[in-house]
Structure 1
């Protein structure tokens, strides 16, 4: 891996992308295929944790693995095209790279589907690591040397802190600003549109490779 002065990690759903329209469509298709009622509008208000957690709300435990695989198979056709880039997402990634850093995505989403989203939306991350949630995100953050992790969920704050990284939070997902503060977010931004200027100021104030 080439040397870079710093690495910043980003969550995917409701941090970099608004995947709710596509995920709703995927759940509706899953419901139609299985004949099982799923409140897709409710499901998309709970994005962040692993898929299996939501599947357990609608299916018995013995079917969770099977149904999760069915959903992931439906996802590319039904969920990718409906997703939108969050305001400032492309600029946040580009801002890290313009400063000489690496921008990686660490997400609970199935990695091939996460990559499809980024490709479709033209978000050019340096690496994508999937199927990691909360504390487990620290595995990838440590492996890639990320000292900042940006996310919208209290689980993202936990992942950052477990890795010893600075937690930058945006209240653009299911967790509001007070929840993110209570979880211990180190920095709270309104959304990603202010991230490039925050990062520039952070670096200008003396942050270096050892602290970023």
Structure 2
């Protein structure tokens, strides 16, 4: 008896994969800097979004200041960072493409879960599961638990998470990492942006036999 093909489950990163987080980060860093009297180099800090906030703050604050500053950043975030942040091109269509195949959409992000949910709600992006505050290879446990076949991200650490989970790594060039960096990290597929994802997904399903 032939076993049924597995259900399609697609994981997506959030920042700079589904949403353009830069305007929101700039606004929150400016507000935090004003409170702390610190002139954060916001252009430099938002050039390659993806690493955890504590890592971003580490070069600009004393060690004992990082955790409180991170807490305050997350408190400021809802009022400053949700409304300015748009979907990236093709994001809604990419999610819809998974839905048309009867698949599940899982968002796995390093962002604080509550703030990530605010973005999804504000932009009307319906997903089956959101997992926040996981980074790099830490995403692998979530992807395995949710039964994902592929993970879509923009950063080399998204590639690390996909490879650690043993799933297909699909990378988009909407973040700060170059094609060469993503390929060197081991990604299987590189797309210019999510606008190319629906056509790619259709071809992938035809080749792999994954179904709804």
Cα distance in structure 2, aligned partners of 1:194 and 1:23: 26
8 Å Cα contact 2:48-2:177 kept in structure 1: no
What is the RMSD computed on CA atoms of the aligned residues? 1.3
Q: Could you tell me which residue of structure 2 aligns to residue 159 of structure 1?
A: 161
Q: Write the mapping of 1:90-169 to structure 2, written as runs, cut at 5 A.
A: 90-169=92-171
TM-score, with length taken from structure 1: 0.95
Q: Which runs of 5+ in 1 are unaligned?
A: none
8 Å Cα contact 2:10-2:148 kept in structure 1: yes
Cα distance in structure 1, aligned partners of 2:43 and 2:120: 23
Residue 122 of structure 1 and its aligned partner are, at CA, apart by 1.4
8 Å Cα contact 2:109-2:134 kept in structure 1: yes
Q: Could you tell me which residue of structure 2 aligns to residue 36 of structure 1?
A: 38
Q: Could you tell me which residue of structure 2 aligns to residue 20 of structure 1?
A: 22
Equivalent residue pairs, number: 207
Q: Does 1:70 align with 2:72?
A: yes
Cα distance in structure 1, aligned partners of 2:97 and 2:182: 24
- Spell out, residue by residue over 1:118-141, the C-alpha distance to the aligned partner (whole angstroms, 9 max, x if none): 111111111110001110010110
Cα distance in structure 1, aligned partners of 2:71 and 2:141: 24
Which SS does the other structure have where 2:16 is aligned? coil
Cα distance in structure 1, aligned partners of 2:155 and 2:177: 6
Cα distance in structure 1, aligned partners of 2:58 and 2:210: 44
- Spell out, residue by residue over 1:145-169, the C-alpha distance to the aligned partner (whole angstroms, 9 max, x if none): 1110000000000000000010000
Q: Could you tell me which residue of structure 1 aligns to residue 173 of structure 2?
A: 171
Q: Could you tell me which residue of structure 1 aligns to residue 58 of structure 2?
A: 56
Which SS does the other structure have where 1:167 is aligned? strand
Residue 173 of structure 1 and its aligned partner are, at CA, apart by 0.3
TM-score, with length taken from structure 2: 0.95
Which SS does the other structure have where 2:111 is aligned? coil
Q: Could you tell me which residue of structure 1 aligns to residue 191 of structure 2?
A: 189
Cα distance in structure 2, aligned partners of 1:91 and 1:172: 16
Q: Which runs of 5+ in 2 are unaligned?
A: 1-5
